[in-house]
Amino acid sequence: MQRIEFKIDIHKSKKSIFFDFLKTNKVTKLYDDRTINSIYFDNDKFEIYHDSVEGLSPRKKIRLRFYGDKKEFNKQKELLLEKKYTNFTGRSKISKKVKDFNSQLNYGILDTKYGICYPRTIVSYLRSYHISKDFRITMDTNINFQSYNSENPIHNFVSIEDIIVEIKTNNTTRIDDLKKTFPFSEIRFSKYCKSIESLYKI
């Protein structure tokens, strides 16, 4: 199912203002907070990164995702292989559980558009989940990036202070109203792209 979404960047000094806004608009907590870790893949030319920066459509991102402490990675019995698609009408995501994920990490993932893609970065963050009548909100904090056995990183680990809020809805007629409802500026923000720009000289 395709969804429409947009992102806003909340400065940490305005975090309490944002939560007051959620309370006033009767937005409730959906799940307990959890740590998300994504291993992002790209080809030798970093075409996934460049397509995202240039805003080309259609495009996709490829990642292996797991939850909890990143240090517990070696104890994971399965990971989620996710392909996130972006086109002119919205976004969609295909996920499947993968048990033999070491083959993807060691030999890469063959993609019909980008060819063989290898693990490039690990992106981790703490996500909180909120819900209203016809839209959902996620808020990501403690965002950090780590290189994954790629050549010539300028940094191996970077942490940023950004607080990224994403508003998602399946009701395409509501998107303009939602953007007017939130008293914060809309931004373009890709964690994968930010990780590449923070870790590598590209």
- The answer to whether residues 28 and 131 touch, using CB atoms and an 8 Å cutoff, is yes
Q: Residue ranges of the alpha helices (H) in the chain? A: 15-24, 47-54, 102-107, 175-181, 191-199
C-alpha triplet 142, 148, 151: angle, nearest 5°: 130
Q: What is the pLDDT of residues 26-42, one digit of tens each?
A: 889 988 999 999 999 99
Q: How far apart are CA 11 and CA 27, in angstroms?
A: 20
Taking residues 17-25, what's their average pLDDT? 85
Q: What is the pLDDT of residues 58-109, one digit of tens each?
A: 899 999 999 999 988 988 999 999 999 988 877 888 999 999 899 999 999 9
Indicate which CATH number applies to the domain containing 157: 3.20.100.30
Domain holding 145, by residue range, is 4-199
Nearest to 145 by CA among 201, 202, 195, 71: 195
Q: What is the pLDDT of residue 195?
A: 96
Domains of the chain: total: 1
